[in-house]
Structure 1
Amino acid sequence: MTTSRTTQTTTGATSATDRNGRGVVKPTPAELMEDTGSGLDYGVRPDRMPGFLTPTDRFYIRSHAPTPRLDPATWTLRVEGGGVHEPVTYTYDDLWNRFPHVSVVRTIECAGNRRVLFGEEVGRPFAGTQWGRGAIGTAEWTGVRLRDLLEPAGITTEACEVMPEGLDEIRARRPLPLDKARADDTVVALAMNGEVLAPDHGFPARLVVSGWLGAASIKWLGRIEVSEAALYVPWNTEDYVVIGPNVPADEHARGPAITALPVSSLVELPWPARLRAAPQVIRGRAFAGENRVVRVEYRIDEGPWQDAPIVSPQTPGAWVRWQIFWDPEPGEHTLRVRATDDQGNTQPDSSSWNELGYLQRSVLAHPVHVESATRREPSHREWEIASRPSRRVA
């Protein structure tokens, strides 16, 4: 394990940067995580997702600055702005002891997930974090409903937007409508999968905004502004917006801000995949943002579309798991999967081009090589055993 040095941030906290230039705390071994090359952003390997919930040690990391190290003894969360009657400041103990707690199982996905594959689809690379398929994860988030923290401040009748702000070096922030802030499943999370939040995932407290792009679920919360007017920041005017020839800009933003995510799916295999010529189970996930996935279909080569049974709960804001049985013949194959949500939205054959490479949602042609030899590939269980020494959470 490498030693770490710290750099002082503008918040008075410290942020960790290790000798390899990583700005994160937890280990990110290659057998579990995909390195995008930024030193801040790591995706989960789709073939290393062992259950419905994503274990914390492999939950993807997306950050705009190095992970801050915050002291819960001195940390506070302040609710203020022109949309409240009286500012309120909470301590870490307040969030644990003064308010009812709720637990929600929700999926968080970066709007730029699959950007590399999107670039291959349109024949040109996109700038930005070079995500494969791993900028997505599902966890049980436990904490306080955001509305319970807003109400003691007294929301004015003209209040319309709520903007959480993080305590990282760049003060990441992004507004959301008051109605979304007050939703039952918009939560200020203190715990993840039954454990106190890890530093890379927002300790001491982070927001979880159900069904929206990951950038809305601000980590390392320090301030929440309630406003009586629309709020404009880089994260809803220049970045995390849809910019394209058929998308109008306005005086405030280069394009409309991304909010709820579209329906998409993935296969729990490497890209490209190598399989044995033997009967086996192929598994995957599908997600539909605020909506509920109701159907998953698959197609092998030029064969017909067939139903892929869904084998997990079907909940708005959370992915589903599906699985199929396949006895493949040796050779080269293409596996396609498409999902449909409860609003009738089905993954299309192509994604809508936009300048920043967001919202890749088209059906992916997953390349699969099936070996004719009898050589056996390591099983998922064998990979899990081999990776155990590296899976400690910092």
Structure 2
Amino acid sequence: MSGPLRTSEKVVKPTPPELMEDAGTGLDYGTRPDRMPGYITPIDRFFLRSHAPTPHLDAASWSLRIEGSGVREPLTYTYADLWERFPLVTVVRTLECAGNRRVLFGEAYGREFKGTQWGRGAIGTAEWTGVRLRDLLEPVGITPGAREVMPQALDAIQTRRPMPLTKALADDTVLALTMNGETLPLDHGYPARVVVSGWLGAASIKWVGRIEVSEHPLYVPWNTEDYVLIGPDYPAQAPSLGVPITAIPVAGLVELPWPALLRPVPQVVRGRAYAGENRVTAVEYRIDEGPWQEATLTPPEIQGAWVRWQFGWDPEPGDHTIQVRATDDQGRTQPDTVPWNDLGYCYHAVLSHPVRVEPTA
């Protein structure tokens, strides 16, 4: 029987505990890893990460302004312009918050991080349809000296984050208008949001109302103070306090509760693995520190999106640990440990997933 319907004044869609994990801010909700039914994450359980309450925007009065020192002719597009004047493209891409697994990072080091208290659920995959960002930029006349492109949100704090021009012009950098075949939901960026493939979720700005193209580096709180790796292993790149995060590192996810309770019968253990801009090529698993074995990858296998994996297990009663490690097409494999960083970002170490198998009564 489902629990009470949970909603927040800061977001629009219901966030019931049987589907979503409350990160405690009223803005941020992760997907329960044991509630991922198919390859595509349904909208009702796609994770939410926002820096301010969801704005209620009207597409009829909304517009998108493209301007800055890197354009010859600033332009303003209406919502109708996006649908009528440009080819639509569809991409299937995974978004992951750079703070995913922050709680587990803290537990590994015996301390608690500030910031959104994410478990493993700040990740999801959707089908996004919209206009390539480069198609919107072409009519404004990009100058030879243009270096960076920065989408800016129409939320209360004007969330924004720059990217290199080359990333903005990539085939799969899209201003999305729909999500999983439906008009973009309010919480996920309606009327339009950017989808920046393979990068941290904070780069995929929601509720976009302005895009700045600049001939100079752009510095904002989201690439100087936040969403940067700060610590002894990450020399500061002034004016940033550390190393700004771009692509997400490779990591795996087991589709079981934490901790998991299983029956002592033959079963299939399933999960996902994601490698940011790259493609996952292998997933290995081991039980109770035993030998590493190869899991089976199941299609589709899409660059910039997660892949599903599975293996069979006939568990004995008692306490067990499942470990999973993924490898991408650049030969990068999940490490056993990750260097400390002050804000608890990009934790992609191999996790020891606790499992209890109880005898059948």
**TM-score scaled to structure 2, two decimals?**
0.98
Q: Alpha-carbon deviation of 1:175?
A: 0.2
The separation in 1 between residues aligned to 2:28 and 2:145, in whole angstroms, is 38
The alignment of Structure 1 onto Structure 2 pairs a total of residues equal to 357
The separation in 1 between residues aligned to 2:7 and 2:40, in whole angstroms, is 30
Q: Paired residue for 1:29?
A: 16
User: Which segments of 5 or more consecutive residues in structure 1 lack a partner in the other structure?
Assistant: 1-18, 375-394
**Aligned 1:132-211 pairs, distance under 5 A:** 132-211=119-198
Q: Paired residue for 1:293?
A: 280
* 1:87-115 CA-partner distances (Å, limit 9, x unpaired): 01000001111100000000000000000
Q: Paired residue for 1:43?
A: 30
Q: Alpha-carbon deviation of 1:352?
A: 1.5
Q: Alpha-carbon deviation of 1:20?
A: 6.8
User: Equivalent residue of 1:90, what SS?
Assistant: strand
The separation in 2 between residues aligned to 1:250 and 1:336, in whole angstroms, is 35
Q: Paired residue for 2:3?
A: none
Q: CA RMSD in A?
A: 1.1
Query: 303, 325, 330: which is aligned to 2:312?
Result: 325
Q: Paired residue for 2:331?
A: 344
Query: 341, 346, 356: which is aligned to 1:369?
Result: 356
* 1:270-307 CA-partner distances (Å, limit 9, x unpaired): 00000001011110000000011000000000211000
What is the identity, as a one-letter code, of the residue corresponding to 1:194?
A: G
Residue 254 of structure 2 is aligned to residue 267 of structure 1 = yes
Q: Alpha-carbon deviation of 1:21?
A: 5.1
What is the identity, as a one-letter code, of the residue corresponding to 1:52?
A: Y
Q: Paired residue for 1:106?
A: 93
Q: Alpha-carbon deviation of 1:251?
A: 3.1
The separation in 2 between residues aligned to 1:134 and 1:301, in whole angstroms, is 24
* 1:251-270 CA-partner distances (Å, limit 9, x unpaired): 31101110001000110000
CA 1:97–1:283 in 2, change beyond 3 Å: closer, same or farther? same
Query: 307, 332, 341: which is aligned to 1:354?
Result: 341
The separation in 2 between residues aligned to 1:250 and 1:300, in whole angstroms, is 41
What is the identity, as a one-letter code, of the residue corresponding to 1:239?
A: D
Q: Paired residue for 1:59?
A: 46
Q: Does the CA contact (< 8 Å) of 2:7 and 2:14 recur in 1? A: no
Q: Paired residue for 1:386?
A: none
Q: Alpha-carbon deviation of 1:28?
A: 0.2
Query: 218, 235, 238: which is aligned to 1:251?
Result: 238
**TM-score scaled to structure 1, two decimals?**
0.89
User: Equivalent residue of 2:355, what SS?
Assistant: strand
Residue 111 of structure 2 is aligned to residue 97 of structure 1 = no
Q: Alpha-carbon deviation of 1:335?
A: 0.2
The 4+ residue runs of structure 1 with deviation greater than 6 A are none
Q: Does the CA contact (< 8 Å) of 2:147 and 2:215 recur in 1? A: yes
Q: Paired residue for 1:221?
A: 208
CA 1:20–1:202 in 2, change beyond 3 Å: closer, same or farther? closer
